């Protein structure tokens, strides 16, 4: 014989209450999502999405550090390149003065005036060689000395073979400084020594043919240093552009995973509110009791 289960009012009420609680829970979750604009409130909401978001955040932190390193490298290189370019302009002026004095059209008074200008230009070039960025000498490697060069006697205060580098990727570092001896020559055979000798030769009325060749060699050394730095600077520029593109993509990934779409959340919330209101209305009708209900 088949047993028939009797559905009582209390059973109906319990089932209705459970359904309303589920609907209310869904509504509350959607309200929280819309208010916080977070698609994932806790890992259990979306384990796969949580993992994607955590990976994206880790990559963002790592790549952001590389961006900072690249920006610092760019600043170092711009500073050094600007100093060298200004130095080359000075060398051009000194070469012009030397050629004018060497062709015999300048008298001794003119040579003395040229020597005085060479002395002034040498001081300016020495100042450029002591260019700093954030208290660090760009032509002295990792040295912590207050100046890359000191004069009388001329001394380079840098550290041989100790270059300043920045890490720009997981497997790549790049040199951002220019050792002074690479740009201006070693002390004893540097551009500053050449200019000291040039000034003395101008004042003594001596032959300038040797100075012309020495100045050209010094200028070429500075030009080569600028070219090498420029090539590294171009690498930094390209890498910085790529890193910024990567940051944009990673942020898009994180945002699409973690953050809720405002329009979509609004629609979902409105629909759930309508569903909840409808459930309340239906439940109110279903749970209306009469004397007959109590007599069952």
Which pLDDT value is given to residue 34?
A: 46
Which pLDDT value is given to residue 1?
A: 47
Work out the burial of residue 278: count CB atoms within 10 Å of its CB; fewer than 13 is exposed, 13-18 middle, 19 or more buried.
exposed
Kindly report whether the global pTM for this prediction surpasses the value 0.75. Answer: no
Task: Collect the ranges in the chain with pLDDT lower than 70.
Answer: 1-46, 49, 258-296
Which pLDDT value is given to residue 15?
A: 57
Which pLDDT value is given to residue 249?
A: 92
The DSSP result for 168-220, as a single string, is EETTEEEE----HHHHH--TTSSHHHHHHHHHHHHHHT---HHHHHHHHHHHH
Which residue in 200, 94, 193, 211 sits closest to 152, CA to CA? 193
Helix axis angle for 191-204 and 108-129, nearest 10°, is: 170
Which pLDDT value is given to residue 270?
A: 62
Place of tokens 């459970």: 18
Place of tokens 């380079």: 156
CA distance linking residue 67 with residue 57, whole number of Å? 15
CA distance linking residue 109 with residue 193, whole number of Å? 23
Which residue in 233, 238, 239, 208 sits closest to 84, CA to CA? 233
Which pLDDT value is given to residue 30?
A: 47
Which pLDDT value is given to residue 287?
A: 54
């Amino acid at each position: 014989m088949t047993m028939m289960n009797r559905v009582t009012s209390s059973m109906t009420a319990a089932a209705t209450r459970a359904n309303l609680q589920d609907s209310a829970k869904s509504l509350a979750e959607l309200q929280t999502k819309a208010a916080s604009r977070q698609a994932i409130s806790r890992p259990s909401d979306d384990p796969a999405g949580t993992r994607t978001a955590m990976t994206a955040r880790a990559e963002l932190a790592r790549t952001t550090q590389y961006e900072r390193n690249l920006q610092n490298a760019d600043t170092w290189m711009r500073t050094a390149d600007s100093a060298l370019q200004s130095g080359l302009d000075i060398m051009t002026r000194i070469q012009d003065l030397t050629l004018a004095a060497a062709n015999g059209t300048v008298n001794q008074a003119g040579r003395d005036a040229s020597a005085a200008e060479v002395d002034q230009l040498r001081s300016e070039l020495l100042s450029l060689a002591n260019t700093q960025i954030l208290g660090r000498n760009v032509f002295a490697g990792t040295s912590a000395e207050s100046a890359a060069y000191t004069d009388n006697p001329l001394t380079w205060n840098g550290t041989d073979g100790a270059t300043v580098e920045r890490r720009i990727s997981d497997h790549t570092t790049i040199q951002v400084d220019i050792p002074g001896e690479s740009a201006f020559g070693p002390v004893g055979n540097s551009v500053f020594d050449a200019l000291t000798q040039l000034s003395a030769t101008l004042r003594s009325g001596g032959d300038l043919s040797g100075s012309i060749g020495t100045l050209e060699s010094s200028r070429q050394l500075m030009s080569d240093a600028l070219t090498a730095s420029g090539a590294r600077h171009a690498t930094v520029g390209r890498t910085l552009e790529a890193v910024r593109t990567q940051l944009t993509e990673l942020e898009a990934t994180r945002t699409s995973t973690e953050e809720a779409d405002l329009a979509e959340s609004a629609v979902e919330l409105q629909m759930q509110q309508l569903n909840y209101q409808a459930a309340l209305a239906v439940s109110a009708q279903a749970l209306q009791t009469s004397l007959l209900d109590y007599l069952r």
